[in-house]
Amino acid sequence: MKIVIANWKMNLLSQEAAAFCQAFKAGYTPKAGCEAGIAPPATLLHQVSALLAGSSVQVYAQNAYFEPKGAFTGEISMSQVKDAGCHGVILGHSERRHIFGETDENLVKKLKSAWECELMPVLCIGETLTQRDAGFTLDVLHKQLEVLKVTGPGPLVLAYEPVWAIGTGRVAEPVQIEEVHAFIHDELWHLWHDRGLDIPIQYGGSVTPENFDGILAVPFVSGGLVGGASLDPAKFQKLIGQAQATV
């Protein structure tokens, strides 16, 4: 299974989102074994879900809180995300971790809450440049993956996003991606045994149509979590086509 998700981050307004969905749907043909997804800002979840209805393109929230409701100004709950038409939710993105202080403790609660609301979590992990240069990449990933020891097994997509490659134009070399994805695959087996082997492992970090073929050729890469390139419907269409060609 290949999964390619567009993470729009804090981009696009209503008219822009409508134009994107119209252009993308016009050229999109689904293919078994390859799932396309879009993660718009929270303000656009209802609209994008409605625009993509019947297309087989899944909608993901970029974040959600673990409490079901209450006095949590500025947050949205997993049930509200589900009510907006979402299939899943991105959790633990490096920008959430490093800018907004997302903790592993909260991620455990968010994963459990997502499962309770029948949402597919996309759990992001990745190291900073300082951590990579110091040789701590696998140690960092091991620690980040330990949240799955606490939660126990459940539906999941894993996304490896080296922090130093997000929005920088730099992309990890195939040999670096292969080392990490093989490590994650082994870690998932140790954590969840056979259930861990079925988890798709995406790559994210300055993914473009120019480098995606090489990334998809790396063992244990099951698609991409795409930032900047996903804001252009033609580029995102190309990325989906590249993933479809591998299944």
Catalytic residues: 93, 161
Sign of CA pseudo-dihedral 76, 78, 79, 81: positive
Selection from 236, 188, 241 nearest residue 216 by Cα: 241
Distance CA 243, CA 235 (A): 13
What angle separates helix 174-192 from helix 137-145, to the nearest 10 degrees?
30
Distance CA 37, CA 157 (A): 12
Q: What are phi and psi of 39, to 5 degrees?
A: -115, 90
Do residues 63 and 93 make contact, with C-beta atoms less than 8 angstroms apart?
yes
First to last CA, the chain: 7
Distance CA 137, CA 59 (A): 31
